[in-house]
Chains A and B, each alone.
Chain A
Amino acid sequence: MAIPPPRDDADAQLFPRWATLVARIALVSLVLLPLAGLGLLMALPYTPHVTGQGFTPAQPVPFNHEHHVGELGIECRYCHTSVEQSRFAGLPPTHTCMSCHSQLWTNASVLEPVRRSLAERKPIPWTRVNALPDYVFFDHSIHVAKGVGCTTCHGNVDSMPLMRQAAPLTMGWCLDCHRDPTPHLRPAAEVFAGHWTPPEDQEKRGAALMRHYGIRTEHLSDCSVCHR
């Protein structure tokens, strides 16, 4: 059996000249496209679409924190009564609203659901703004007791006409503070301040407050601190 003559020379070229360029682009894309796809998948969880940062959900009553806190000066604990004793800061019963609104704006149409709630003895179904997953056991009382102010996580509530999620609420965001709380610590008197900017020498004050509150960061990032 003889070796057949090579067919290459007889046949026309299989590929046109530009095929080389296409092949090169394809080879580079073969590496770059999957990498770009992975990069996109990695970047996506940081975006507000996933974290919910900056989103303002619709509420049954358009309660205005800017007006009540910023303009009228009602303190956080007037409504969120259990923030110092419980893991849950507490949502006010309709009676709390009525302590003023039984006298003020009694016919305002926006307050109709509040009046109905009182009449029907059914709580107002607020939509949660700052939601954590069920496997996270967050406790308000310990944070407040150790000098973490309301606005550190909830943002400047006194300038929010409607409540929005100020922080990304990701685990990385929690850990940033758990690993080094000094930039965020306040003296006990300023914890419920509606507006707080850290003073110039916060680094020094924060370190002193760490000692004052007895905060030890060695175990603050253990799994079981937040997950049981």
Chain B
Amino acid sequence: MSGATQEAGLPPAARYAEMVSLVADPVLERRVGRPWWIAFLAALAVTLGFGLCLAWLFVEGIGIYGNNSTVVWGFPIANYVWWIGIGNAGTLISALLLLTRQGWRSSINRFAEAMTLFAAGIAGLFPILHLGRPYLAYWLAPYPNTMNLWPQWRSALVWDFAAIGTYILFSLLFWYLGLIPDLATMRDRARSRGAKLIYGVLAFGWRGSARHWQRHDAVYKAMAALAVPLVVSVHSVVGLDFAASLMPGWQETIFPPYFVVGALFSGFAMVVTLAVILRWGLGLQAIINERHFDVMAKIILAGAIAMGLSYLTEWFMGWYSGEHEERSFLSFQFTGDYAPFYYAMLACNVLAPQLFWFRACRQRVLPLLGVCILVNIGMWLERILIIWNTLSHGHLPAMRRLFHPTFWDWATLVGSFGLFALLFLVFVRLLPAVAMHDVNKELRAEKEAAA
């Protein structure tokens, strides 16, 4: 590891056993606190509401949402793009930062990967929800059927299906592979026989022998190398959903990279948000500290600058194309019905993160949390505006309509947060939220560097 070239990320006095018990004890030893129960019950209630929304959608159909024949994509697709963006950061943190030997990743990669998994799973629901006949969603899969039907490979939606499916499966395997040594630690530390057995089965008989470690490292690094192109491809394909169309404001070659940057940007903001909550809830101040926040805030700042550049490029190309439709679309963005949201989005995504030029804002919890929540709101606004602006201002002026969200639009969005929170709360109660073996590897590297 590259501890030698960086300032230490873990406290200099830290010991290996101390690090392990910091992570493992909240799961195995400590009683569940009242805040956790309150959060769990609240999340459970909201999740049940989410289930209700889905049930009502299946009974009543897409008409319960604000989607109309002009703005055919509304909240569901915006939510999908936003959630899959959140789901992008975890695998990037664990894979790309592993390959580039950023040792500090070890403090955050485990829960960031869990976040990825849950977010990508929730994201995968939304394209199904926006279908006219959601119960036929499996028609997107190529399989032999009595209708002799085959998916339309020219449709970006089929690419989506493949990209999300691959990404979720891969993220799950990658996450689990990283968990195996820690599951063995949990097995060895557990007191009750039931817990020993469950963690023991999940640990696949890990003994921590040199051979185990050697193979684990080889597979993990190989998978990380596979993961990086996947992270880029999954959101590029989401960008292509839009860019492969003929609509003003969508048909742009910048879309795939612009979407990937946006995804990492919002994903990192979500990781910081969760890290702040997690280290307070589990008492992990020694493992997730100012230095981690500092580095992540810098990445978010870089993301904000890249987003600003993307917006500038979009505006420039809109004007430079000379197309009447593109220019009229541009003026609709700035002066049309959704303009206030557009300015709010610019403020959230480009202006707010500029605070991270200051070290004090990067390392203190309140400004960090504030900016990250603003970024996530801004990124959601961006997703919905990409849909609203273009579809409400298409080629046929007579067909121009606005989108008016319904109660069910909002309920489904809020419900998806509930499901995410529920999954995350269960995760921190049952599994080590930090990669213990990775943290100790990093600790060793830092100690060697210091010696």
Are A and B physically bound partners? yes
- Check if A170 sits within 8 Å of B147, measured CB to CB: yes
A6 to B185, CA, bound (A): 10
Report yes or no: B146 in contact with A14, Cβ–Cβ below 8 A.
no
Could you mark each residue 1-40 of chain B with 1 if its beta carbon is under 8 Å from any beta carbon of chain A, else 0? 0000000000000011110000000000000000000000
Task: Produce 1/0 per residue, A145-180, CB < 8 A to B.
Answer: 000000000000000000000001011110110000
In this complex, how many residues of chain A approach chain B with their Cβ under 8 Å: the count is: 24
Contacts of B148 in A (CB 8 A): 171-172, 175-176
Q: Counting CB contacts under 8 A, is B188 at the interface?
A: yes
User: Does A198 reach chain B (CB closer than 8 Å)?
Assistant: no
- Residues 141 to 195 of chain B near chain A (Cβ within 8 Å): 143-149, 187-188
> Is A3 close to B, CB under 8 A?
yes
Q: Are A14 and B17 in contact, with the CB atoms below 8 A? A: no
| A4 / chain B contacts, CB cutoff of 8 Å | 17
Q: Is the CB of A1 within 8 A of B196?
A: no
Query: Total contacts A to B, CB within 8 angstroms?
Result: 44
C-alpha spacing A55/B16, complex, angstroms: 72
Q: Which residues of A contact B205 (CB under 8 A)?
A: 15, 20, 23
Q: For residues 166 through 225 of chain A, which have their beta carbon under 8 Å from a beta carbon of chain B?
A: 168, 170-173, 175-176
Q: Is the beta-carbon distance between B17 and A3 smaller than 8 angstroms?
A: yes
Sorting the interface of chain B by its residue count into under 10, 10 to 19, 20 to 34 or 35 or more gives 10 to 19
- B146 partner, pick from A6, A7, A20, A172, beta carbons under 8 A: A172
Do B145 and A42 touch across chains, with their CB atoms under 8 A apart? yes
Chain A residues lying within 8 Å of B188, measured Cβ to Cβ, are 6-8
CB contacts (< 8 Å) of A171 on chain B: these are: 146-149
**Residue in B15, B18, B143, B146 whose beta carbon sits within 8 Å of that of A170 in the complex:** B146
Q: Identify which of A3, A14, A42, A45 contacts B196 (C-beta below 8 A).
A: A14
Determine if A51 is an interface residue (Cβ-Cβ < 8 Å).
Answer: yes
Whether A126 is near chain B, meaning CB under 8 Å from some CB there, is no
- CB pair A46–B18 under 8 Å, yes or no, is no
Chain B residues with Cβ under 8 A from A42's Cβ? 143-145
Distance A168 CA – B148 CA, assembled complex (angstroms): 13
Q: Tell me the A1-17 residues at the B interface (CB within 8 Å).
A: 1-4, 6-8, 14-15
Any chain A CB within 8 A of the CB of B334? no
- Pick the residue among B15, B143, B204 that contacts A23 (CB under 8 A): B204
Q: Assuming A45-B145, A170-B147, what are 18 further A-B pairs, CB within 8 angstroms? A: A1-B15, A1-B17, A2-B17, A6-B188, A8-B188, A14-B196, A14-B197, A14-B200, A23-B205, A38-B143, A45-B146, A50-B146, A171-B147, A171-B148, A172-B146, A172-B148, A175-B148, A176-B148
29 contacts between A and B (CB under 8 A): A1-B15, A1-B18, A2-B17, A3-B15, A3-B16, A7-B188, A8-B188, A14-B196, A14-B197, A14-B200, A15-B205, A23-B201, A23-B204, A38-B143, A42-B143, A42-B144, A42-B145, A45-B145, A45-B146, A46-B146, A50-B146, A51-B146, A168-B146, A170-B147, A171-B146, A171-B148, A172-B146, A172-B147, A176-B148
